[in-house]
Structure 1
Amino acid sequence: MTTIYDIARAAGVTATTVSNVLSGKGSVSSATRARVMQYAEELNYSPNLVARSLIKGRTGVLGLVFPSIDNPFYAEITAAMERLAYQAGFRIFVSTFSNGDQTGQKMLKDLALRRVDGVIIFSAAISLDIIHAMALPHLPIIYCLEEEMQACPFPALSYNFFQGGQLAGEHLLSLGHRHIGLLTHMTDEGEYCHVARVKGLQAALATYNLELDSRLVKNGISSVEPGKIVGRELLTQPNRPTAVFATNDMMAIGLMAAAWELNIQIPRDLSVIGFDGIAISRFTTPPLTTIKIDIDRLAAEAINLLLHNIENPLSSQTIVLPAQLLAGASTGPLHL
């Protein structure tokens, strides 16, 4: 393995000069700097990351905590964050678990003990109360995608879920739909971001003096198969809805599969709108109308916020990303 001493011998300079060039420190002439970099490249020099981490007191690793990577939404975020972290000189370590998972809590504490430089936690994975109870005061944390951030002691990044639900409702109402159904993800742990989406839908309905019919509401899990199961229940009941808002794209895709099996044509017989804007939603038949979370922006904001917090600890800062309607072909005017 090439060392700085090999580069120093080849370039005819001291090892200290090579170190200064590679670290960007010290006063080195442009000619010497260019010569050192030339030999570093020719000799295929790779920095000793372990030694560098010991010197800087950093590991060069960022933790990323999700409830699951089964949902393509989290897989897409992982890919985007990994790319951005790498560009900044960091690697990503991914851990998955959900609220109430004792093993998951141990894994998070293990992340801290292994001295990752900071952690990005998605709210569906672990609650603020659990993080507080774990007492990790020296670990930079960014908390993502929780709706109620007022009491969050960490820098936080959220999305206007209420506005997203409102946009979904307004879109369906503008197409003439009044008999609107709902597929949502509700668990004992709360899933507040889904609650906010539902409240947004209810606000849109209220502008038309309408209320959400409890008979047209089905709860499930944010995945295709559960969406298909509860979607079939919704579509086979008397007086089925003419449009459905699914608070997750995966559930919306499951609903569309159930509609196809029941020979219900989309959007002629049923309009469907989802939430998340995952890449696969553009390739459904027809392409899914959805409330898009800008994954690239979310990843960039989260990584930048964490890196800033590592260098300059912040007590609290919240960034809220706006909702965006991404029109597909799964929604259309009401056909009487």
Structure 2
Amino acid sequence: MTTIYDIARAAGVTATTVSNVLSGKGSVSSATRARVMQCAEELKYSPNLVARSLIKGRTGVLGLVFPSIDNPFYAEITAAMERLAYQAGFRIFVSTFSNGDQTGQKMLKDLALRRVDGVIIFSAAISLEIIQSLSLPHLPIIYCLEEEMQPCPFPTLFYDFFQGGKLAGEHLLSSGHRHIGLLTDIGDQGQYCHIARVKGLQAALAAYNLTLDSRLIKNGRSDVEAGKSAGYELLTQPDRPSAVFATNDMMAIGLMAAAWELNIQIPRDLSVIGFDSISIGRYTTPPLTTIKIDIEMLATEAINLLLHHIDHPSSSQSIVLPATLLEGASTGPHLL
């Protein structure tokens, strides 16, 4: 492996001069700098990243913690964050868990032992209580997508999920739908991001003096199979809804599959709207109407927020991102 001493001998300069050129420090003439860089290229020099991280006191690695990556939403976030982190000189280490608090503690401790420079936690993965129970005072942490945790000791980044749910309800109501069903993933622990979406829908209905019919509410997991199963239950009822709001796209896609098998045409017989705007929703038949979470914006803000927190450990900034409607072809007017 080529070292700075090899470059120094080839360029006829000291190792200190080579170090200054490669690090961009010190006062080196342009001619000498060019000669050193040419020699480094000819000798195929690669910096020792481990040694560099030890000198800087940083590893150049950021941790991401998700409940899973089965949902394309998290996979798309990972891809965007990995690219953005790399542009900033960092790599990403991804950790997932969905087996309870003890596993969550082990996961977070493992990240700390690997000496990541900071961690972005998507809140359904590890609760605030778990984080606070661990002695990790020097680990910069960003908490994403969990407004209910305010006030929070860490910088936070979340979407206006309530407004997103309200937009979904208003879209269906403005199309003449009054008999609206709901597929959601509140679960035993009550995931705030889904609860807020439901509350937003309820607020939209309240403006029309309407409430959710408990018979038209199905609670399950945020995946296609659960959406399809709940969709069958919902659509085979004697008084099935004319429209359904699914609080994530995976459930909405499962619902659409159930509708297809039951020969219920979308949007003629049933309007469907999801939440998340995962890319696969653009390729369903018909393309899915959804509440958009701008993944590129989310990734950019999360990475920037964590990097700022690494440099300014006492910061506790909170960022709220807006929700918008992305209209596809899975919703239409209610035909009386």
What stretches of structure 2 of length at least 5 have no aligned partner? none
Check conservation: 2:101, 2:130, Cα contact below 8 A: no
**Hey, what does 1:285 align to over in structure 2?**
285
Aligned-partner Cα distance in 1 for 2:112–2:156: 19
List aligned pairs for 1:269-280, cutoff 5 A: 269-280=269-280
Check conservation: 1:66, 1:124, Cα contact below 8 A: yes
Aligned-partner Cα distance in 1 for 2:96–2:148: 22
Check conservation: 2:157, 2:302, Cα contact below 8 A: yes
List aligned pairs for 1:146-165, cutoff 5 A: 146-165=146-165
List aligned pairs for 1:237-248, cutoff 5 A: 237-248=237-248
**Hey, what does 1:38 align to over in structure 2?**
38
Aligned to 1:163, the other structure's residue is in SS state: helix
Letter in 2 for 1:233: E
Aligned-partner Cα distance in 1 for 2:88–2:35: 25
Tell me how far 1:149 sits from its aligned partner: 4.3
* CA root-mean-square deviation: 1.2
Aligned to 1:320, the other structure's residue is in SS state: strand
Tell me how far 1:252 sits from its aligned partner: 0.2
Aligned-partner Cα distance in 2 for 1:26–1:311: 24
After superposition, give the CA deviation of every residue in 1:249-271 in whole Å (9 maximum; x if it has no partner).
00000000000000000000000
Tell me how far 1:13 sits from its aligned partner: 1.9
Tell me how far 1:99 sits from its aligned partner: 7.0
After superposition, give the CA deviation of every residue in 1:240-290 in whole Å (9 maximum; x if it has no partner).
100000000000000000000000000000000000000100000000000
Check conservation: 2:227, 2:252, Cα contact below 8 A: yes
Bigger drift between 75-84 and 251-260 goes to 75-84
**Hey, what does 2:250 align to over in structure 1?**
250
Tell me how far 1:139 sits from its aligned partner: 0.2
When normalised by structure 1's length, the TM-score is 0.97
Letter in 2 for 1:191: Q
**Hey, what does 1:129 align to over in structure 2?**
129
**Hey, what does 2:208 align to over in structure 1?**
208
Tell me how far 1:40 sits from its aligned partner: 2.1
Aligned-partner Cα distance in 1 for 2:192–2:275: 15
Bigger drift between 22-31 and 42-51 goes to 22-31
Aligned to 1:95, the other structure's residue is in SS state: strand
Aligned-partner Cα distance in 1 for 2:202–2:24: 56
Aligned-partner Cα distance in 1 for 2:204–2:104: 38
Aligned-partner Cα distance in 2 for 1:40–1:59: 24
Aligned to 1:148, the other structure's residue is in SS state: helix
**Hey, what does 1:220 align to over in structure 2?**
220
Bigger drift between 119-128 and 37-46 goes to 37-46
Count of aligned residue pairs for this structure pair = 336
Check conservation: 2:128, 2:149, Cα contact below 8 A: no
**Hey, what does 2:235 align to over in structure 1?**
235
List aligned pairs for 1:98-177, cutoff 5 A: 98=98, 100-177=100-177
Bigger drift between 39-48 and 122-131 goes to 39-48
Tell me how far 1:153 sits from its aligned partner: 0.6
Aligned to 2:147, the other structure's residue is in SS state: coil
Check conservation: 1:248, 1:275, Cα contact below 8 A: yes
Letter in 1 for 2:254: G
Check conservation: 1:244, 1:272, Cα contact below 8 A: yes
Check conservation: 1:245, 1:273, Cα contact below 8 A: yes
Matched, 1:82 2:82: yes
Aligned-partner Cα distance in 2 for 1:159–1:219: 22
After superposition, give the CA deviation of every residue in 1:195-238 in whole Å (9 maximum; x if it has no partner).
00000001111111111111110001000000000111001112
Tell me how far 1:55 sits from its aligned partner: 0.8
When normalised by structure 2's length, the TM-score is 0.97
Bigger drift between 95-104 and 311-320 goes to 95-104
Tell me how far 1:128 sits from its aligned partner: 0.6
Aligned-partner Cα distance in 2 for 1:70–1:214: 29
Letter in 2 for 1:263: N
**Hey, what does 1:72 align to over in structure 2?**
72
What stretches of structure 1 of length at least 5 have no aligned partner? none
**Hey, what does 2:21 align to over in structure 1?**
21
List aligned pairs for 1:180-191, cutoff 5 A: 180-191=180-191
Letter in 1 for 2:170: E
